[in-house]
Amino acid sequence: LLYTLEAGEVGGIFTLERFAPAVQIGGAAKPELRPQTREKRLFHSADFKVDRVDFHPEYQLIACAAIAKDGTANIATMPVNAVHLALATEGDSIDLAPKWIPGFRRAIVFQSAGIGRDGTGQIIEQKHSTIEQLDLDRQEVITLASDPKYDLLSPQMTADGTLYYIRRPYRSLRQRVRFSQILKDFLSIPARLVSAVFAWLNIFTRSHTGKSLLSASPSPHVNRHQMVVLGRLVDVATEMERNSRFGDADSPSLVPRSWELIEQFPHREPKVIGHGVLAFDIGAEGQIVYSNGSAVYGIIPGGVAQRLVVDRPIEQVVLLDLDNHLN
């Protein structure tokens, strides 16, 4: 098992192996019946965080996203027996979700979005995410898919060149404020001022008398129905209510239905194969698993989606290809 771990400001890449140690029984070494685990730290750093690791079995190479403290992220690689990451991309951009292309090529697909900063260096804009291919042998990056109206996320490519990714509507960081929202905020100023004054008086009274102005003061409002999904804040309660009339009523999507799973064959138009998708994985034989956050669905080549598991929240899925069955 290859995974990342964070502890405060320090993050790293670790492996966890299962093995059956040999024990001496009657003069012969025999394995124990119960396997044990062994953890090993491959790399750690306080300079950046590591995200979304992927492993190339032929070349024994690790690919990951290295997220710096200034908000940029670059694709990095490292041999499994090394101790340092080597950056494979650079620039003022957010490069995430690297995935090795199956085969004996040293090539990676990943998502990339350019960013803009103000005079103080703060990020004020992020462009739409595109799908890029990095060829380590040729030292070149080419754009595989791009649409200014959409973010294209979490790409994977099969050995025959078929590209899969999540497509969602692009949202600028500097959205125009509608007049109706300005009017609504202006009309709510008196109520907000009264609320602020009451809150201050309530704190003052409690500090001197130990009692609140009201016998049952309301607790601070905390929105427990929001979560960050693929870098965007989503009100999952609202989305579940909207999506409950689509598909399975007991497992509505946690994200908007406009988040689509795309299948794109070489030299063909993109095809939507799933709605309300926040994670997916592709098997060696073309099997597909994806999650809407409330359930996991599976698709075998030429088949239709079937629900496999119901649970929530599900933020990532991995397909285990055992004996050519969907597991």
| Residue 25 within a domain | no
The confidence score (pLDDT) of residue 224 equals 54
The tokens describing 171, both together, are: 């949202």
Tens of pLDDT, residue by residue over 285-306, are 889 999 999 999 999 988 889 9
What is residue 141's three-state secondary structure? strand
| Same domain, yes or no: 80 and 115 | yes
Specify whether 7 is located in the same domain as 119. Answer: yes
* 114 in the same domain as 61: yes
Position 2 scores a pLDDT of 86
Provide, rounded to the nearest whole percent, the portion of the chain with pLDDT above 90: 49
Q: Same domain for 125 and 244?
A: no
Number of domains in the chain: 2
Residue 289 lies in a domain: yes
Per-residue pLDDT averaged across 116-144, rounded?
93
| Distance between CA atoms of residues 204 and 291, nearest Å | 49
178 found inside a domain: no
- The enclosing domain of 307 has a CATH number of 2.40.10.500
Claim to verify: residue 138 and residue 242 sit in the same structural domain: no
**pTM of the predicted protein model:** 0.79
- Domain hosting 275: range is 149-172+224-327
291, 283 Cβ separation under 8 angstroms: no
Do 88 and 168 fall into the same domain?
A: no
CATH of residue 120's domain is 2.120.10.30
Residues 261, 307 within the same domain: yes
Are 5 and 140 found together in one domain? yes
Residue 84 has pLDDT above 60, yes or no: yes
Final residue of a structural domain among 111, 131, 146? 146
Mean pLDDT of the chain: 86
Q: Are residues 78 and 161 in the same domain?
A: no
Residue 246: inside a domain: yes
Please write the tens of the pLDDT for every residue from 2-59: 888 888 888 889 988 887 776 666 655 555 567 788 898 998 888 888 999 999 988 9
Class of residue 76 by CB neighbours under 10 A (exposed 0-12, middle 13-18, buried 19+)? buried
Cβ–Cβ < 8 Å for 84, 43: yes
Identify whether residues 89 and 164 lie together within a single domain: no
The answer to whether the beta carbons of residues 51 and 12 sit under 8 Å apart is no
Residues 7 and 136 in one domain: yes
Summarize pLDDT for 175-231 with one digit per residue, the tens: 655 566 677 777 778 887 887 787 777 777 777 777 777 665 454 444 457 888 898
Distance CA 76, CA 48 (A): 11
Cβ neighbours of 155 (radius 10 Å): 26
